[in-house]
Amino acid sequence: MEKADNPEEINYSSHHGIRASSNFLHESPHVDDADATTARINTNNGIIASPPPQSILPTPSTEQRAVINAVLEGNCVTIPSVAGSGKTTCMLQIAAALPLHRHAIIITYNRSLKDECVTRIHACGLSTRVSCYTIHGLISRVAGRVCNDDSKLNSVAQEWDRDGRSLGKARPFGMDLVLLDEAQDLRPSFYRALCHVMEMCLHYRGRASSGANGVEQTTLQICLVGDPNQMLYDFPTYGSDKASTRYMMEPQKHWGQFTKHRAWTKRKLSVSYRLTPNIAAFVNVIWGTGIVGGNTRTENLPVDYVCKYPFPYKYGSDPNFLSTKYLQGLIDEYEPENTLFLAQSVKNKNCPIRVHVNELLKIQDGNGQRLYNFHIKESFRGFEGKADLRNKVRVWTFCGSKGIEADCVVIFGFDGDYLASLNQMCVALSRARKRLVVIHGKKYTGRGLCPNKYYPLLGEKEEGMKHSIVWNGRVLSVDVPPCKGGDLESSRIRSRQTRALLSTLEKNKAICTKLEGMPKIKDTATVVKHSVAWYVASEFSFFAALEEHYFLSYGMWTQEKQIADRIEYNISVQFDKIAEDVSALYGEALVYMLQWEKEGYCPNVETVINDGILQFNPTEWYQEDVLRTLIFAQKNCEPMPPGMDTAFSAAVRAEEKGIMGKDLIRLLNTRIRIQKRRVDGERIIFFRIKAMETRELDEKMKPFLAKIRSIYEATEKTPAIWLFIANAVMAYDTYHEKWNQIGTEPESYERWAEAHALEKGLSRLRELMKSVPPSQENTLKQEDGTHMELSSFEHELIYDFEEDEIICKPPNNLNIQGVQGICDWVGSGLSSPSGTLVDLLEIKFTSELGNENRLQIMTYAALLAVERNKTSVGMLYNARTEEMEICQIEPQRAKDFLIDTSWFKYDGTKRYSRKLDGVVIKSDTEKTLCQRKTQINRTSISNPLNDTKISMSCTTNEATVANVISMVENQLQKRSLHTSVHREDEQNKRCKYRNDIMRSQGSDEFIRGPSSAFSCISSIVAEEESPMFGTPSTARFQNQTEWIDLTSPDSVCKQQLRMVDLTAGHSDDDSNC
């Protein structure tokens, strides 16, 4: 909880008195929305009263008092607030100081920030004077329906666009003083929705205004609170809906329509009451900020700078390795709840945090009880309940740490090996109240174990600056050079500057390096090595809602069932000292139950319990003969099909030394499928082999394998036993905290498992798949020797990109070779209630389906369509709610979808290669593009009309544009065009997508891609009918005032398409779209 530096405190509630607030907020019945959190107590006479004050607010600091005065003077205020500056406290102080007839509303970015704020509102006795909502909760309140994700929020905003703000339909809602928290992370879609709400509010208040307060009723007073340096939500995959600081930096432009005559002023909060002077100095060096460390209540400890190989040593102790005991000592000193482990990513199976957490879970107290509990950020593992953090060490990402703090914070990866975003890194560094520990990693090179280079000043930020740090009465200054992406020399200079400044802090005792001193880095020629990877279907996430809809429109969607009967069960289970979210276990167990009932085995379980793991040292080289002996002689794996065997040999022999372990692991888990078989009576069960790093990290699981195998092979298994099996399999080769904290004994699961939930879900799946016959044979032998299962669970799908489709753009050295995924079921015999035959099925057991689930099933359908070269139909089924959705996609669009989605995930740029069967060319293309003078590199350009390639090296000029347009028109006349386009009233909804495709970005990133240059030159777009659920309309194009039916093969030859400028009047502001 944030505190001011002045110990003197006053009670604002008792000072001003409490009376009923304006009824603008509370005239309507409460929406069924967990985010609407204004509490009220109704008395017999109908007066709304607040509970008595339970705590008091601190006296404002000088800076906080300046903010309060600016608000009381009637100004609108932007409040740049450094990390830990007490902005939540300041917002509550503002609300407490308002005249009694006024009411404040605080709008927070996410649920956790809202929960903290609501707790403090009640604790301060301000419940009748302050309301707090998330943006989604506020839109839900006004719209009268739940909008708990971005897609629903955008849908409501579109309705308000179309229906003239729906003033008659929206719930009466008023605002007086609006305090927008984390304003630096406001996204265009959120801004657009808030504008609608504010306009409706002013409309409503204007009708209700009267008397002396009439002037106030016709305007809003707005405070924008945040820190531009802490903007995090500008992820590339948010596309056109990235967060932008412009809404905070240009308030009059974006909010003036609502504040009208009110003046805008700025008041800073530059003192951090969280950070000590030493921690503030360290953060300022890296971030380029001037935060004043105002935490003088605790000892001003130096920052611990630890340079070690970040994994524990297996065979005793080694000073070059990070000891788990060192981390244990920090937990013991500061208590689990006050200790925070942070890394750029915590889901990577090979990240050092995972290794240390699993080691710490083995430690027991004198009574044989587990000593430490952990909370891992769980969104990537499918847990959907609210986190219970009591008595747990938090293991979170840099980005996920926004808005939290802890006494002790340990930062993994504080070096230049894998460069984390500057804002993410420094948000993480600024979470510590008392002690900050940063781990500068080492790695094995040709010269042995060497330190990674220093994290560069200003991280990946391209702009340079004159950097001055005021610390301990001294000024440290350095000129930081600009650093364009991929500029290795500038990055080296910045890393050396980091070392110089941190060495100065070390000499002055602001940094502690024990006896090692600051790491000494030798500048050597950097050899850029490209790593190879395949995207996984489940990784197409963290896209903005607008982008999700864009990619989902590649397929045809039908919604066959909506939410009908949601199965209710307790997602959070209270154990001895902690509570655990068990939702993901139910989903996993349900699929295992179905697999066992239909086929009598579960592929994932077989791999874990029946010696289906191959282990390799990631830094060793492996020769082909050694590998074949290991795989086929020692592990008794099945022979590979000839084609796959040839690919295996080619990959292993690519280098004289063989193949390195880390590359071999990736190869065997992606392109090469190796199977084992197990004889079960008269059946032969084939299951997949999994490759992983050689390590002893899962020794704790080994004693349980025999028990798990015995239970799994038993004929009868209760739902509780399936939950036990699911937890065991999920724990293998990943975090063990759920396994240890929920229970390692199957009997304990009977005490909390809700059998009815799994039994009802299984009953629904049984009914769904009743027409699917069980496999009479396990395998069918093909001519090439491969095994093709008639129908299979956990079916693997993969598409390897062609050579010219492989994605690799500097400065990113990652080569994306294709897309892969494992679908729950692929086969024949399954149909939907409407009679649609289905090729594959993905099963969920969640509260509601979302676009991430839809992208996942569409990826599987696309992979299958490309593999079989025919249209594929996928079913997404939620066994908890009975939701059912069908998507279908044909092979060429499937291929485009896989490439384009991968392209966008790579760096957020769009590859214009949606090979739609129709185009509209805008008439003033030549003139517009000639004015831009865009330089285009020599690029292989993918023609959106077919697969022919166009190579060019030119500057955009009239001749070039004319040539390209002519080329396109020739293509139009050579083939018939078939497409689906939106109805005219859908055009505004889709304009953002079209603009994204058409607009020239003018950046290197945009014209690197094969088809972006083509988009730059010809600005060709295609409109298609792509509602989430519906059927395509007649394919037509508009030519002046008449429609041309393109379903006729001869129509294009007879008429010339009119060029239509669809980008005219486009604004960067989505609210104008």
pLDDT in tens, 185-222: 999 999 999 999 998 888 877 655 544 444 456 789 99
- The pTM is what? 0.77
Q: What is the pLDDT of residue 521?
A: 83
User: HSE of 417 in the Cβ direction (CA atoms, 13 Å)?
Assistant: 19
Q: What is the pLDDT of residue 8?
A: 33
Q: Which has the minimum average pLDDT: 725-734, 764-773, 1017-1026?
A: 1017-1026
pLDDT beyond 60 at 992: no
pLDDT beyond 60 at 592: yes
What gap in Å lies between CA 815 and CA 802, rounded to an integer?
Answer: 13
pLDDT beyond 50 at 231: yes
Give the Cα-Cα-Cα angle 512, 515, 519 (nearest 5 degrees). Answer: 75
Q: What is the pLDDT of residue 386?
A: 72
User: What average pLDDT does the segment 947-954 reach?
Assistant: 31
Contact of 278 with 508, CB cutoff 8 Å: no
pLDDT beyond 90 at 243: yes
Q: What is the pLDDT of residue 209?
A: 54
Confirm or reject CATH 3.40.50 for domain 274-344+398-512, answering yes or no.
Answer: yes
Summarised one tens digit per residue, pLDDT across range 255-282 is 999 999 999 999 999 999 999 999 999 9
Beta strand segments in 626-705, E: 659-660, 675-680, 683-688, 690-693
* Core vs surface per residue 591-601: b (16+ CB within 10 A) or e: bbbbbbebbeb
* Pick from 743, 607, 753, 774: nearest CA to 677: 607
Beta strand segments in 365-459, E: 374-376, 393-397, 406-412, 432-445, 448-451
pLDDT beyond 60 at 1: no
- For residue 541 the two structure tokens come to 């996430």
What gap in Å lies between CA 337 and CA 331, rounded to an integer?
Answer: 9
Q: What is the pLDDT of residue 756?
A: 97
- For residue 673 the two structure tokens come to 């499928």
| Greater model confidence, 322 or 1060 | 322
34 CB neighbour count, 10 Å cutoff:
15
Q: What is the pLDDT of residue 385?
A: 64
Q: Is the dihedral of CA 967, 970, 975, 977 positive or negative?
A: positive
* Pick from 433, 425, 409: nearest CA to 459: 425
What gap in Å lies between CA 474 and CA 63, rounded to an integer?
Answer: 24
Question: Strands 393-397 and 474-480, how do they pair?
Answer: unpaired
Summarised one tens digit per residue, pLDDT across range 823-869 is 999 999 999 999 999 999 999 999 999 999 999 999 999 999 999 99
DSSP string, 193-252: HHHHHHHHHHHHHHHH--GGGHHHHTS-EEEEEE-GGG-----GGGGGG---THHHHSHH
Letter for the amino acid at 490?
A: S
- For residue 153 the two structure tokens come to 């929020």
Q: What is the CATH number of domain 9-271?
A: 3.40.50.300
| Greater model confidence, 740 or 780 | 740
What gap in Å lies between CA 281 and CA 928, rounded to an integer?
Answer: 50
Where in the chain is CATH 3.40.50.300? 9-271
Helix H or strand E segment including 953: strand 949-955
